[in-house]
Structure formats: C-alpha cells, structure tokens
Amino acid sequence: MEEFGRKLFAERLRDARERLRGLTQAQLADKSGLPSTSISHFENPEGTRKPSFDNLRRLANALEVTTDYLLGRSDDHIGMPLAADALYRDVQNLTDVDKEFAQAMIKKMLEKNQPKE
C-alpha cells in the first residue's frame, strides 16, 4: 500500500529539479550530496525507492522547497515566512464571507500603493 504517494513524489522531485530550479540530476546530486543514480531512482515513477528521513531533507534543502510539496501533502512548494504567520493564522479562522471581504480590502490597499504597474 501507499503506492500512491510514491508516484507523486517522483513527479514532484523531477518537477522541482527541472522546472523550478533548472538543474540536471548531476547538479542536484552535487548540491544535495547524494549520488545522481539515487536521484534517478527516485524520479522513476515506476520505481520502488523512497527517500529516507535524511535524504528527504537533503533534497528539500538543495531544491529549496518544502518537504510537504515533495511528499505531495501540499501543492505549494514555498514555505511560510514567519512575518506573515499571525495574520495568516487569523485569516484561517474567518468565515468565507469575511475572508472574501478581507481579500478585497487587501487588494484595494495594494492598488493604492502601486497606482500604475
């Protein structure tokens, strides 16, 4: 079981390496400190190898993406800067109506700051 997440991981890893960072397997191998053949094994969608605790961290660090993205638990590869945490947390607890209102207001403030693009 759990064959599901394995395939997603393969896609996410290749996507992050190629599209996001434009690296070859050898270059990622260099940055992450693990052999390029291991990366190839990981990126094979039909493969069986899954990263260990350490190797997952190495890959995420080298690619500068979240591990949740690599694992397919989040669709967003960027993390959450601490500065926005408090505000973000509050927004999470708003009703949908209020959320929309907040979003509209924030957009207004953005436009005010940059009158012309």
Partner DNA sequence: GGCGTACATGTCGATAACGTCAAGTGAATA
Partner DNA sequence: TATTCACTTGACGTTATCGACATGTACGCC
Residues of the shown chain interacting with its own copies in the complex, contacts defined by CB under 8 A: 2, 5-6, 9, 50-54, 56-57, 60-61, 66-68, 71, 73-76, 78-82, 84-95, 98-99, 101-103, 105-107, 109-110, 113
In angstroms, rounded to a whole number, what is the distance separating the alpha carbons of residues 28 and 96? Answer: 41
At closest approach, how far in Å is the CB of 18 from DNA? 6
- 3-state SS assignment for residue 85: helix
* Shortest reach from residue 108's CB to its own copies, in Å: 10
Task: Return the structure tokens found at 110.
Answer: 């953005």
d(CA 40, CA 34): 11
User: Measured between alpha carbons, how far is 40 from 47 in angstroms, rounded to an integer?
Assistant: 9
- Assess 26 for contact with DNA (CB under 7 A): yes
Residues making contact with DNA (CB under 7 A): 18, 24-26, 34-44, 46-53, 55
